[in-house]
Structure 1
Amino acid sequence: MILPYGRQTIEDDDIAAVVAALKADFLTTGPTVGAFETAFAAKVGAVHAVACSNGTAALHLAMLALELKPGDAVVVPAITFLATANCARYVGAEVVFADVDPTTGLMTPQTLRAALARATRPVRAVLPVHLRGEVCELPALAAIAAEAGAVLVEDAAHAVGSRATFDGQGNTVGDGRHGVMATFSFHPVKTIATAEGGMVATGDAALAERLRAFRSHGMTRPPGAEPWVYEMAEPGFNYRLPDVLCALGLSQLAKLDRFVARRRALADAYAEALAPLAPAVRLAARPPWSDPALHLLTVLIDFAAAGRTRAEVVEALRLRGVGSQVHYIPVHRQPYYAARYGDLDLPGADAWYARCLSLPLYPGMADEDVAKVAAALKDALS
């Protein structure tokens, strides 16, 4: 059996929670949705949390809630999943790609300023991505965004449970201290899973109201109206998350601290096991303020020095029972964006992509699996 780079951890109580939801009166649009939202908001320290069908829907809803439109621009790091950039295009806005630190993969204050300097349209939003669960330098990014007349929306798909300390003050990703919204994903490889699912956390009641309307076709119920009456001021989408999946989310959320602790313990074991492979292999860097709930265990490999291509290493690992993945191909290199914005020079993103490889990391791994991965990587590079 191959160790995958990530996978869900589903236990008997998770199954029982789903079975109970299947036996309840509501399979969707029922009370379990609100219960999951309330519990999630409390966990991350948010005022409001709005559940939706997946992490991409969460990003799209955030752009809709901000009323972005054609002629506006959004700054997105070049190293991220496609959805972070695509959500701007869904509403007709243009994407301005920011470079990243080549050792962390994160947008930095310097790369944000450089992106803003290249913008040819008003930038309405900045979307830092907490890649791998590592937290971006939020206070500085928020201040720079505000100077440009933009708001900060955190793409926290990787960062459920991540924390950071700025100026001696700790905060949890999603608590709203720096961003107007934070979007999360509950895909099976993420820290907690609902099969598919997403959440938008915000401290703004008006934004929360718009998010809820847009996730359900744009429908609202006028105050005092009859129970069957609804109005649609503008079209929305069917981005609802069913009660059955929210029941799974509630069960998983109760285990978040345990899952995070296990991921951190495995990451510490990796640091020790991979140390003999330095300098050809090193763990992606951790910013000093970041206290991550690691979603990915990413190493940076000098493939040229090892005399191996990444494809050769990936195949050699596979033959030894170890799965791996690449996070990510720079989005500005994708054919659609390259045709739209040209050949951008973002050396940090290119350097990250040239070296990155994600190794297995999930709570169900055994301690000896880390040693197996390290030995397989050593063999693959030999």
Structure 2
Amino acid sequence: MRYPLIAPNPPRLSDHVDALQRVEASGHFSNNGPEVRAFEAAATAQLFDGQGACLAVNNATLGLMIAIREAAGERTAGCYALMPALTFAATAQAALWAGLTPLICDINPADWTASAEAEERLLRDYGDRIAVLLPYATFGTAIDLDRYAWLQREHSVGVVVDAAASLGTRDAGGGGFGAGAPFAVVHSMHATKTFAVAEGGLIHSGDTDLIARLRAMTNFGFEANRSATLFGLNAKLPEVLAVMARAKLAEIDTVCDQRAALEHAYRTQLKGVAFQQAEGQRRASQFMPVLLPEAVAHRRSEIAAALAAVGIGSGQYFSPHLGEQPLFQRTATILPTPVADSIGARSLSLPVTDAMTIADVAVIAKAFNRILARETRSAARPRQHAVASLLIVGGGPAGTALLTAASKRGRLPELAALGLIVAEREATLGEGRIGRYAITSDSTAETFLSAVRDNPHPELAALVDHPTGQAVGHYIGALGVPLVEVGPFVQATGHRLQTLVAQHGGTVLTGHDVLGTTRVAGGLWSSRMRRRADGHEFDQLSSAVAIATGGHQPLDRLAAQRVGGVSLVSEVGDRLMQSDEALALGGPTKIIDLLSTKRNPKIVVIGGSTSAIATIVLLLKTASLPLGAGAITLLHRRPLRPFYPTPAAAQAEGFTDFGPDDICPVSGFVYRLAGFRLEARELVLRELRVDGRTPDPRLTVHQVRGDDDAVARAHLAEADLVIAALGYRPRALPVHDQDGRAIALAAHQGSAMVDRHCRILDASGVAIPGLFGIGLAAGFVPWGRLGGEASFSGQANGLWQWQNDVGAMIVDQVLGDGARAVA
């Protein structure tokens, strides 16, 4: 016998011909007709103890959208909907459609609902920027609605409850879950739910005026006549579906009682698993969620396959959770979610259907217990991991750039076949943090597309015409690409690179941290790996390791920084922000909040890097910042240099502040590495008054000279906000020698992490065999045929370089060593 995870059991229309003929005879097929109204009244009486009112909608997601929009009121732009990580994508999607940013928090380890501690902390920290609380009644459980009513009053915040799986659930007092709630409680009637219709949703509230407003919103916002007065759309339930809903209502108590008995049998007969803490007298069980032991969580897919082999369906709800899904990683604010990470990774759902009996549960439980016991015994045995040729630590823009460089030369299959492993802590390759910044790139659209255009692998070349590639291509000829548009494209590229690596024998380990690497016998490296889902650790041997973990702005850099003769932290510590925070999505909103009480705010930006100029460009483009003349001051040490394609182009505009050492001998570019490009270049050209350009009156530029600069000190003293753009330092992986002693790296001393061959240097400047570095803050400076002006000093961070010569340099060394080893 086969046991599907879900077996939809909506009422059969063929059994309700009389009702269908009644609909036909009425001539009323939608627009809140008699069948819909009769269902709403009956549901209110039967499921919600006659309290308040109900509103039937076309589906629960539309119900969430209008309820969230109504609850938010005028608070949308720059405001949040606070929700737990462990829920379905529709919850966050509805918030986005309602104009809010999802604010994703962790969950309670017992009942798997939103953490009360996290909710209350965030309400204090974010204040009225949280427009709506959006709790989820996880798997049909009965959450404490009295508490949310109190939070609504205490914080003047909107509340909408996502109760998609709860229609038929009874609370601790025996009442219908949601009965009389002062806010909207949104249920689903999808065919896969316990209250199975075909499609549909039901909103309940004890506030009949609220239901009346929501009803108008489901009808294009028409409160009277055909004139829109509210935000609205078409979310009305058709009459035919209402016929099915009325039929389901007649049997729902019997259905829920039978499913509750199945759940009780599971809890009695399953062994070795953990269960969700039960809340309420009866849950409208859609399926039976359990938690696998941590030791076998990484074998979840194998357990599911073994169950399928004996005819038992299973599911993994909700894995990945909201915080692990690419869209919400780009569009939401995600707090640390260690509990949701663990529960999502360990969850497995077993069948609960209307056709099942207690005897069926016994069959499923016996098979499950046998499979779990076998996997538990297997997990206790030590694992052996083969030797890889190369372990790439980090699958963000730099790590995938290395793969791109190999693919463009047709060497990716060769690299993968020799034993390539890519370890990335996030759920997907490619994006890293690039899509989480509010600025425009300092690389052109053409540069991003060059990673795939005419690539030898057709699946990569096709990305030029992919929707994400077309979105980037829209900015060809423009001054860069918004990084929020770049994020999806590099993620799509990463996904196809991952597929190619796997097809040719390599391995991609997403959701894995690399804790450190140690030199072992035979010149190999043993890297300690940790699977983030369950904390499982293991060691991976490789001939080489490429560190592509990106850069950060360390706080200790600020502690030691002096500007104009004064300590930055001691002088302006309470008014200090790092540029990385300012440039991130949500950064401008934070700045607006910080300066909201200042009539004529003064902002100082410190640094002469691209991030410093990008910060100023972003501030000048933020319309809601009241910036008057001289509102922003840039304090920098090195002269500001614009990029030019040729010396003749520079001279044609009257820019002559360069010499022979400032011209790249390979490309002929002026300030190829040191020069600002795109939007930053335009701002610098204005400040330098090149070719008659006029400086922006809102910006003052001051070059700091020496440690006793009174002008710089005066600007710092007057500033309401100081943004430090002092560059990035690499996230250098802990490295140990064969005796287990930590190897001090050049990066730890503030020097470049790598040499001219991308080899990682120790503190004495000696290259460490088999260790390579690439990416932001690695410190590589192009040389020889790679080009670059002789006068350049500092860091060269260029995606095009990583995807071409720099990445190829590492690939060639690894493959050369691999070929020698095979010989």
1:309 offset after TM fit, Å? Answer: 0.8
Corresponding letter in the other structure for 1:242:
P
Q: Distance in 1 between matches of 2:131 and 2:333?
A: 22
Q: SS where residue 339 of structure 2 aligns? A: helix
- 1:1-382 correspondence runs (5 A): 2-10=2-10, 15-17=14-16, 20-22=19-21, 24-25=24-25, 26-29=28-31, 30-43=33-46, 44-45=48-49, 46-66=51-71, 67=73, 68-119=75-126, 122-165=129-172, 170-177=174-181, 179-222=182-225, 230-234=226-230, 236-274=232-270, 277-278=271-272, 281-287=273-279, 291-304=282-295, 306=296, 309-328=299-318, 329-341=320-332, 344-381=335-372, 382=374
Q: Distance in 1 between matches of 2:85 and 2:195?
A: 25
1:296 offset after TM fit, Å? Answer: 2.9
Q: SS where residue 163 of structure 1 aligns? A: coil
Q: SS where residue 64 of structure 1 aligns? A: helix
Does 33-42 or 90-99 show the bigger shift? 90-99
1:244 offset after TM fit, Å? Answer: 0.6
1:379 offset after TM fit, Å? Answer: 3.1
Corresponding letter in the other structure for 1:49:
C
Q: Distance in 1 between matches of 2:297 and 2:322?
A: 27
Query: Is 1:6–1:189's contact at 8 Å kept on the other side of the alignment?
Result: yes
Query: Is 1:295–1:361's contact at 8 Å kept on the other side of the alignment?
Result: yes
Q: SS where residue 200 of structure 1 aligns? A: strand
1:42-67 deviation line (CA, Å, top 9, x unaligned): 12234111111111011012023223
Which one has the largest radius of gyration? 2
Query: Is 2:103–2:333's contact at 8 Å kept on the other side of the alignment?
Result: no
1:289-345 deviation line (CA, Å, top 9, x unaligned): 5642323311111152x4861110111111110111111122021112212346631
Query: Is 1:181–1:200's contact at 8 Å kept on the other side of the alignment?
Result: yes
Query: Is 2:101–2:332's contact at 8 Å kept on the other side of the alignment?
Result: no
Q: Distance in 2 between matches of 1:351 and 1:156?
A: 23
Q: Distance in 2 between matches of 1:307 and 1:200?
A: 37
Unaligned runs of 5+ in 1: 223-229
Give the aligned CA root-mean-square deviation in angstroms. Answer: 2.2
Seen in structure 2, the aligned counterparts of structure 1 residues 20 and 107 have a Cα distance that, compared at 3 Å, is same
Q: Distance in 2 between matches of 1:118 and 1:19?
A: 57
1:220 offset after TM fit, Å? Answer: 3.5
1:261 offset after TM fit, Å? Answer: 0.6
Seen in structure 2, the aligned counterparts of structure 1 residues 7 and 146 have a Cα distance that, compared at 3 Å, is farther
Q: Distance in 2 between matches of 1:141 and 1:231?
A: 34
Seen in structure 2, the aligned counterparts of structure 1 residues 34 and 342 have a Cα distance that, compared at 3 Å, is closer
Query: Is 1:195–1:245's contact at 8 Å kept on the other side of the alignment?
Result: yes
1:34 offset after TM fit, Å? Answer: 0.5
Q: Distance in 1 between matches of 2:21 and 2:364?
A: 39
Query: Is 2:10–2:244's contact at 8 Å kept on the other side of the alignment?
Result: no
Q: SS where residue 164 of structure 1 aligns? A: coil
Q: Distance in 2 between matches of 1:123 and 1:70?
A: 11
Seen in structure 2, the aligned counterparts of structure 1 residues 341 and 133 have a Cα distance that, compared at 3 Å, is closer
Q: Distance in 1 between matches of 2:300 and 2:352?
A: 19
Alignment partner, residue 674 of structure 2: none
Seen in structure 2, the aligned counterparts of structure 1 residues 260 and 55 have a Cα distance that, compared at 3 Å, is same
1:219 offset after TM fit, Å? Answer: 2.6
1:161 offset after TM fit, Å? Answer: 1.9
Query: Is 2:60–2:200's contact at 8 Å kept on the other side of the alignment?
Result: yes
Corresponding letter in the other structure for 1:20:
A
Alignment partner, residue 225 of structure 1: none
Quick one: percent identity of the two aligned structures? 30
1:350 offset after TM fit, Å? Answer: 0.9
Q: Distance in 1 between matches of 2:17 and 2:109?
A: 42
Q: Distance in 1 between matches of 2:21 and 2:82?
A: 42
Corresponding letter in the other structure for 1:319:
A
Does 326-335 or 118-127 show the bigger shift? 118-127
Alignment partner, residue 227 of structure 1: none
User: TM-score of the superposition, structure 1-length normalised?
Assistant: 0.88
Q: Distance in 2 between matches of 1:55 and 1:265?
A: 27
Q: SS where residue 61 of structure 2 aligns? A: helix
Query: Is 1:98–1:112's contact at 8 Å kept on the other side of the alignment?
Result: yes
1:74 offset after TM fit, Å? Answer: 1.5
Query: Is 2:60–2:186's contact at 8 Å kept on the other side of the alignment?
Result: yes
Q: Distance in 1 between matches of 2:125 and 2:343?
A: 22
Q: Which has the higher contact order (CA 8 A, sep 6+)?
A: 1
1:246-295 deviation line (CA, Å, top 9, x unaligned): 00100100111101110111111112221xx22xx1322224x5642323
User: TM-score of the superposition, structure 2-length normalised?
Assistant: 0.42
Query: Is 1:300–1:356's contact at 8 Å kept on the other side of the alignment?
Result: yes
Q: Distance in 2 between matches of 1:251 and 1:240?
A: 19
Query: Is 2:189–2:197's contact at 8 Å kept on the other side of the alignment?
Result: yes
1:225-251 deviation line (CA, Å, top 9, x unaligned): xxxxx2222452121111111001001
Seen in structure 2, the aligned counterparts of structure 1 residues 247 and 337 have a Cα distance that, compared at 3 Å, is same
Q: Distance in 1 between matches of 2:288 and 2:242?
A: 27
Q: Distance in 2 between matches of 1:2 and 1:298?
A: 19
1:76-135 deviation line (CA, Å, top 9, x unaligned): 111111111221111211221121112321113223123324537522221211111111
Corresponding letter in the other structure for 1:375:
K
1:172-225 deviation line (CA, Å, top 9, x unaligned): 212124x41100100112121220000111222332222111112223434xxx
1:41 offset after TM fit, Å? Answer: 1.4
Q: Which runs of 4+ in 1 moved over 6 A?
A: none
